Amino acid sequence: MHKAGAVVAVLLLAGGGAAWYSYAVSREHGVPLLGFDADTAYSDLEYLCNIGPRTPGSPEDETGALYVQSRFQEAGLLNVRIEEYRVTTFQVNSASLSLLNLQLRETVRKDYTHIRDFVLYQYSGSTGGTLRLEIVDVGNGTEEAFGGVDVTGKAVLSTQQCLPRAAEKGARAVIVQNTRLAAELGYPPYSGGLYGADANGDSIPYPDAYPNAVVPTCAVSMAVGNEIRDAMNGSRRLPVVGSTVRMEFNFDTTIEKNPIYNVIGDVKGSKSPGDIIYIVAHRDSSYINPGAVDNAAGVATIMEMARKMARSLPAKTIRFISTDAEETGLLGATEYCKAHEAEVQKHGITCINFDMNDVNLRRVKVLNLQCSNANHSRELERIRGAFQGRYPDIAKKYTINITGGGGGADGGPFMKRGTDGSLAMGEWGSSWEYHTAGDTIQFVNRESWLVGGILLGSLALSIADG
């Protein structure tokens, strides 16, 4: 029996039959292993994905927060609440992009399709109507690439995000060509992030950091970028008119203060309730997809962990946090840490973060588990051995790497304040659709969530009783 509580022997049912590994806590060779019901977790992911994109500050974002709150309450977590913070958010209302080639008697026009051919970067400025601009190729967008190039009043084409530099040099719009991500899908446009930092090094929204450098900014696919560059190379320069090639932008975005929502619930510690293990997953997505892998999978994982842990009796408190606005700069995690600065610094033990913990076995079989604390890594190795002994058929499908690190994504603000950190993340190659319109439910593998959920959930219980 687990020293913090007896094994729960009641089976939960899913889809009319016994769910996968539905016990709460059991033992394998003396090692406590958390249970996990992958079918119930999948139903949570379905709900979140059916909401659609959950951009910070949107009605869909709030709907997702209320759903997680209700599931935390149903699980039996204590002190379940939503904490609101007002931050600068970003919404896309409409967007059009066209390539114009000025001929002697007509203008040849190529209209691009929003989402398929181009997407807006976070915190892209509005154009205030139709904006036609000459284009300048600034290569990879570095300071050296801008050297000797006049971009004043023009649009720049770059293979890397180059704000605020481009705006500070006078550019009125930025186009980022994808030449690096999702090669398997033909380098589609992807939604990139723009953020800044305050005097303490904490992330803040891009417009708060660079209010004078907010310009219309989009990403295009490799094919579209090449088409634009070919048109530029074939253009002529005419007196007064200048280049015969133009880009036409019409972006309508809203940048304003709105509430974001962290959903919080506790498994209260029986001996040292003030000491806290945080289990975190961000709930928001980009505006172009429902964020199935990034990161509804992570949220579904921690909701299932909450159901299994809620009636355990750990010595220390285990706190679940469904964070918001990770995609716009780790804002939800950062705001939590700012609002609970003394708690995190003095009583935060570790932050266990789930971000893209899905593993698509048709592509790779690697799940990366990172730990900043060497003792936690050793304990996790022991738990991995117990997991492999209990579930050999599942374990042999996956390569479970345990490495250093752990401070990526939402774990960063916690570790910056002195906690240890652990991170579950599927091998990068498992999500070709990362930050593209393709991050949908059809590519998820619910079985893979139980691997990280059981391993890091069991680690949380071990730390909580250590």
CATH for 414: 3.40.630.10
Predicted pLDDT at 6 = 32
Give the pLDDT band of residue 466 (cuts 50, 70, 90). Answer: confident
The rounded distance, in Å, linking the Cα atoms of 151 and 167 is 9
Q: Quick check: 3 pLDDT over 70?
A: no
Eight-state DSSP code of residue 181: S
Higher confidence at residue 429 or residue 187?
Answer: 187
Condensed to tens digits (0 to 9), the pLDDT of residues 168-198 reads 999 999 999 999 999 999 999 999 888 999 9
90 contact partners, CB below 8 Å, separation of at least 6:
55, 56, 57, 122, 123, 124, 205, 253, 254, 255, 328
224 contact partners, CB below 8 Å, separation of at least 6:
112, 117, 118, 177, 189
Predicted pLDDT at 5 = 34
- Alpha helices (H) in 404-445, listed in sequence order: 411-416
- Of 26-40, 124-138, 320-334, least confident by mean pLDDT is 26-40
Local structure of 18: helix, strand or coil: strand
Predicted pLDDT at 241 = 67
Where among 203, 222, 255 does a domain terminate? 255
Residue 262's closest CA among 321, 217, 345? 321
- The share of the chain scoring above pLDDT 70, in percent, equals 94
The tally of domains found in the chain comes to 2
Which residues, listed in sequence order, are joined to residue 450 by a DSSP beta bridge? none
Pair 28, 130 in one domain: no
Condensed to tens digits (0 to 9), the pLDDT of residues 364-410 reads 999 999 999 999 999 999 999 999 999 999 999 999 999 998 878 99
Is residue 1 situated within a structural domain?
Answer: no
Predicted pLDDT at 14 = 33
Q: Which two tokens stand for residue 189?
A: 């446009």
Pair 457, 438 in one domain: yes
Predicted pLDDT at 426 = 85
* Secondary structure tally for the chain: helices H, strands E: 13, 23
- Whole-angstrom CA distances from 232 to 128, 235, 396 are 25, 5, 53
Which residues, listed in sequence order, are joined to residue 261 by a DSSP beta bridge? 84
Mean pLDDT of 206-225: 97
Residue 193's closest CA among 285, 118, 260? 285
Give the pLDDT band of residue 27 (cuts 50, 70, 90). Answer: confident
Pair 421, 286 in one domain: yes
Q: Quick check: 101 pLDDT over 80?
A: yes
Backbone angles phi, psi at 215, to 5 degrees: -130, 160
Pair 191, 313 in one domain: no
Is residue 122 situated within a structural domain?
Answer: yes
Mean pLDDT of 186-214: 94
Pair 288, 413 in one domain: yes
Pair 220, 105 in one domain: yes
Pair 444, 392 in one domain: yes
Pair 321, 455 in one domain: yes
Predicted pLDDT at 103 = 82
The rounded distance, in Å, linking the Cα atoms of 40 and 382 is 27
Pair 111, 241 in one domain: yes
Q: Quick check: 32 pLDDT over 90?
A: no
Tell me, what amino acid is at 146?
F
Mean pLDDT of 150-172: 97
Pair 156, 240 in one domain: yes
Is-contact 350 300, C-beta < 8 A? no
Q: Please, what sign has the CA dihedral across residues 193, 278, 371, 447?
A: negative
**What is the domain range of residue 65?**
13-86+259-465
Is residue 54 situated within a structural domain?
Answer: yes
Predicted pLDDT at 240 = 64
The rounded distance, in Å, linking the Cα atoms of 119 and 130 is 17
Q: Which two tokens stand for residue 23?
A: 């016990």
Q: Quick check: 16 pLDDT over 60?
A: no
Where among 255, 284, 299 does a domain terminate? 255
- Residue 234: count of CB within 10 angstroms of its CB: 10
Mean pLDDT of 87-91: 97
Residue 92's closest CA among 288, 375, 344? 288
Pair 291, 175 in one domain: no
The rounded distance, in Å, linking the Cα atoms of 466 and 455 is 16
Q: Quick check: 429 pLDDT over 60?
A: yes
CATH for 210: 3.50.30.30
Q: Quick check: 415 pLDDT over 60?
A: yes
Eight-state DSSP code of residue 367: E
Is residue 213 situated within a structural domain?
Answer: yes
Pair 336, 403 in one domain: yes
Is-contact 138 146, C-beta < 8 A? yes
The rounded distance, in Å, linking the Cα atoms of 91 and 111 is 22
Is-contact 124 216, C-beta < 8 A? yes
Give the pLDDT band of residue 22 (cuts 50, 70, 90). Answer: very low
Give the pLDDT band of residue 11 (cuts 50, 70, 90). Answer: very low
Mean pLDDT of 308-322: 96
Instruction: Give Dmax (Cα) for the chain.
Output: 85
Is residue 4 situated within a structural domain?
Answer: no
Is residue 327 situated within a structural domain?
Answer: yes
Is residue 117 situated within a structural domain?
Answer: yes
Mean pLDDT of 192-219: 94
Where among 255, 283, 317 does a domain terminate? 255
Element (H, E) at 165: helix 165-168
Predicted pLDDT at 360 = 96
Eight-state DSSP code of residue 380: H
With 0.75 as the threshold, say if the pTM is over it.
Answer: yes
Provide DSSP, 99-115.
EEEE-SS-EEEEEEPBT
- Residue-averaged pLDDT of the chain: 92
Condensed to tens digits (0 to 9), the pLDDT of residues 295-311 reads 999 999 999 999 999 98
Is residue 8 situated within a structural domain?
Answer: no
